[in-house]
């Protein structure tokens, strides 16, 4: 199987976090990273042991030709292409997880928690932008083939209407607007 592209290190780390140890299910993993040549491409290799059971873990991802350096003000997981690592449902799951605990208004929230909520909401908006990359030009929703993981298919089954372009754009824009209140 060809190496899949990790468009940013943030995307690679998210993928590793969402794919826990196959032996014990631990999702924590503090790998060492290196740049290697694999299958004729430059690649990032992440290796280490599961902190719970000691099982050796390794992930290798192709590196993009152009390196993106996302920042806190503009968290990005990749370029304009859809992810090869995470499907549309996994990105929506991430957006939900990040936005779930964010307060709707900064009143009564201390400076540290305001900053944390702001970053979470901007990252949730970025995750929704990732879902939108799976909507083909001229289409109004994410197609079924953009959901290949168990988690992604579960998210879709729980709310297929959430994968419509207009709804995704509205929620993404709302997260950005709410994040601005915390700035």
pLDDT one-digit tens code per residue, 123-155:
999 999 999 999 999 999 999 999 999 999 999
Say what percent of the chain tops pLDDT 90. 83
| Neighbour tally for 121: CB within 10 Å | 26
CA distance 94 to 124: 7
Match 């990032």 to its residue by tokens. 44
Token pair, residue 120, equals: 């979470």
What is the residue-wise DSSP string for 34-89? EEEEETTEEEEEEEEE-TTT--EEEEEEEPPSS----BTTB--S-SSSPPSSS-HH
CA distance 109 to 27: 30
- Segment 31-84, tens digit of pLDDT: 999 999 988 889 999 999 999 999 999 999 999 988 877 666 778 899 999 999
Token pair, residue 100, equals: 């779930």
């Amino acid at each position: 199987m060809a190496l899949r592209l990790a468009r940013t290190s943030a995307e690679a780390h998210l993928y590793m976090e969402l794919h826990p140890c196959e032996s014990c299910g631990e999702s924590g993993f503090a790998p060492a990273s290196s740049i290697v040549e694999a299958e004729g491409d430059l690649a990032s290799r992440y290796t280490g042991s599961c902190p719970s059971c000691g099982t050796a873990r390794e992930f290798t991802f192709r590196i993009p030709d152009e390196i993106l350096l996302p920042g806190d003000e503009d968290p990005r997981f990749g370029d304009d292409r859809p992810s090869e690592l995470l499907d549309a449902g996994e990105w929506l799951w991430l957006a939900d997880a990040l936005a779930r605990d964010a307060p709707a208004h900064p009143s009564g929230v201390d400076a540290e928690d305001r900053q944390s909520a702001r970053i979470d909401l901007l990252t949730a908006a970025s995750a929704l932008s990732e879902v939108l990359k799976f909507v083909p030009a001229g289409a109004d929703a994410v197609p079924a083939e953009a959901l290949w993981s168990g988690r992604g298919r579960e998210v879709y089954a729980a709310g297929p209407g959430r994968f419509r372009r207009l709804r995704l754009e509205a929620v993404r824009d709302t997260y950005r607007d709410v994040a601005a209140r915390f700035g």
